[in-house]
Amino acid sequence: MTKRSFLLLIGLCLLACNISAQDAGFRLPAVPLVTNNPYFSIWSFSNHPGEDWPRHWTGSVQAMACFAKIDGRDYRLLGHTHNAVPLMSLKKTEVTPTLTIYTFEESGIRIQLVFTSPLLADDLVLLSEPLTYVSWKMEAVDGKVHKLKVYFDVSAELVVNSNEQAVSWSRPRIAGLDIMQMGSVSQDVLKKSGDDLRIDWGYLYLVSPSSQLKADVICGADAARKSFLNNTADLPDDDLRMPRAASDDWPVMASVFSLDSLSRPLERFILLAYDDGFRTEFLNRKLLPYWKAQGITTAQMLKDAVRDYRKINERCENFDEHLMKSLLQAGGQAYCDIAVPAYRQSLAACGLSGDIDGTAVYFPKENFSNGCISTVDVIYPACPVLLFCNPLLLKAQLEPLMIYSSSKRWKFRFAPHDLGTYPLANGQVYGGGEVTEEDQMPVEESGNMLIMLYALSLKQGNSDFVVKYWPAVSKWAEYLKEKGLDPENQLCTDDFAGHLAHNTNLSIKAIVALGCYSKLCDMAGKPDMAKIYWRTASEFASKWKTMAADGDHYKLAFDKGGSWSQKYNLVWDKVLGLKLFDPSIAEQEIKYYKTKQNIYGLPLDNRKDYTKLDWILWTASMAENADDFNALTGSVHKFLNETPDRVPMTDWYDTRTGKQVGFQARSVVGGVFIKMLKP
């Protein structure tokens, strides 16, 4: 480790002491380890990473193990294996937007186990590359010289959907690198689609510079770990027969490095990479990962990633420092704590592909709700993180939807709900039969698309992207003009609550969307149409205030006196500078919401105690002062710290018990970045 890199790390750690998502006793429900896309997404569901196995976001075990041998004494850092081996004392867990840093200390040695997933939103190639670095930063803290060995392995569970599937392995040759490769035997590329699934095609790589490791091997997990722990050898001979089921002796790719006299700070790293070959399918054409679509080979990706380790880590550290400072300044400590892990989770729930011409297309997966791909009412709540960090990513999510909506395959006059089931974006597949209007969310999705298209156009400074698809966009605006003010008995994005007619919050969305369409008309050089739709939106907003009024607040539905709901869609009126609605509406609602909070947050509406994490942050961002914002976000912070459900951040939970109701690891948590979009 160079002196400059070490000082950068120390600086980042000092910064994290002030604004890390894991500081001052704050505990995330699950800690991100390997976070690249929906299929390469591994988390720790426990306080100490050695108390349980690392798990895929779905909860299925995807084992990794790490031991340290300090002057002959064994300690466990990662993985729930060999319980006779004591856990190494964990002093600190720090989570930044791109790094997870575990600091252990025992027997005079400090080890930082660092997982770096370089999800840099401004670099589409790097963002799309399935890379996570695992590094160890080690030093003696007692002034003595120590002997240290470190063991690490990764299981065949990472390359199969179920452990009965057979796996095989090999050792590719690239000059200067030690490489182990593992994959399923069947290689059923893009053959499965659905929700609770893991990838079973492509190849996992464990890579290191040839000079770093003392030994590496592919063998049964028990043999590899016992060999290291029993001092019989660093690792056993590589003689495991293949192919074999993932559950047959649990094949692992294992590595060991040794330091005979550790006295000064040293660093070692390995690279975990997953080459999925093809990432998604769009309108029946298989799409490469974006990096491959740019002509980069697997060998080149691995070589460059190892060569650029320090440069990429420095970029990640600088990015994290800048983003965390911005979050802290915008919303304070609790907000920063919420938004930091939300960044990584949101991007890791999407797969970035290249279309046949190399164009970036970005597909979110609707994790643990129904597995849909490119769900419009998932993109809508998640879009603030993309608008803030790189609007090109929002364009890459909207483009497939615009292509589909403009084709003859889409027969409705409103926007679609989704494009299929991940990873197959070949069109909607409800029940295997013909798609009907009952399967859709007409006002919801049309409003979502118009709002996002205008927000994107504002960021880009032009409406060129929208103009390409003007007939579809205009059709949606016409539909909202007819149906939006007082919506019929339709589903909205909160579909778990069931159909609801006369939904006041959905009406707000339609009105804001009509205002957005008016602004798009202006940008597209259609002033007469802009005036017509602006007049309609303004008249609707005025009517809404009267129709929804219910004393000191506004109703859940126009026909339901004594009801209330979060009017989170109203935040876009401020974010986009439309000013369609009387400012007193938001002021009055915020005041009312503060009387309706439970211990873990503001319920979605008066019908149930459950809430949506993303919507609370949208509602809070309507507040004009920090005290009101903090009053609503503080309970979300408390929920994340105290929920008994140890899963990647859920967005649907009970505000009284803090228990998860459903959903986890979804991209929608990127919606907490709405605060960063306020002018």
Amino acid identity, position 14: L
d(CA 418, CA 378): 9
d(CA 154, CA 328): 36
Residue 393, SS3?
helix
d(CA 346, CA 394): 12
**Contact residues for 546 (Cβ-Cβ < 8 A; gap 6+):** none
Does an H or E element contain 287, and which? strand 285-289
The phi and psi torsions of 504 (rounded to 5 degrees) equal -70, -35
Question: Which pLDDT belongs to residue 433?
Answer: 67
Specify burial of residue 436 (Cβ count, 10 A radius: 0-12, 13-18, 19+): exposed
Q: Name the token pair of 231.
A: 């001092």
Q: Residue 202 — left, alpha, or beta (φ > 0 → left; ψ -120 to 50 → alpha)?
A: left
pLDDT tens per residue, range 3-24 = 444 444 444 444 443 444 444 5
Q: Name the token pair of 473.
A: 């966009």
Question: Which pLDDT belongs to residue 11?
Answer: 44
| Contact between 338 and 635 (Cβ < 8 Å) | no
Buried b (16+ CB within 10 A) or exposed e, 266-301: bbbbbbbbbbbbbbbbbbeebbbbbbbbeebebeeb
d(CA 31, CA 46): 8
Kindly give the pairing relationship between strand 652-654 and strand 610-612: antiparallel
Question: Which pLDDT belongs to residue 497?
Answer: 84
Q: Name the token pair of 81.
A: 């294996």
Structural domains present in the chain: 3-320 (2.70.98.40), 359-677 (1.50.10.10)
For residue 601, the number of C-alpha atoms closer than 13 Å in the C-beta half-sphere is: 35
- Residues of the chain short of pLDDT 50, as ranges, are 1-23
Neighbouring-strand partners of residue 110: 105, 139
Question: Which pLDDT belongs to residue 8?
Answer: 43
CA dihedral 565, 569, 574, 578 (to 10 degrees): -120
pTM above 0.85, yes or no: yes
Question: Which pLDDT belongs to residue 239?
Answer: 63
d(CA 562, CA 14): 51
Residue 172, SS3?
coil
**Contact residues for 154 (Cβ-Cβ < 8 A; gap 6+):** 63, 64, 204, 206, 252, 253, 272
Question: Which pLDDT belongs to residue 431?
Answer: 65
Question: Which pLDDT belongs to residue 228?
Answer: 93
**Contact residues for 562 (Cβ-Cβ < 8 A; gap 6+):** 550, 606
Report how far apart, in Å, the C-alpha atoms of 51 and of each of 90, 227, 299, 676 are: 11, 21, 35, 36
How is the beta sheet containing 146-155 ordered, strand by strand? 73-78, 64-70, 146-155, 251-262, 215-220
Question: Which pLDDT belongs to residue 231?
Answer: 81
CA dihedral 239, 240, 243, 246 (to 10 degrees): -150
Question: Which pLDDT belongs to residue 663?
Answer: 96
Question: Which pLDDT belongs to residue 432?
Answer: 65
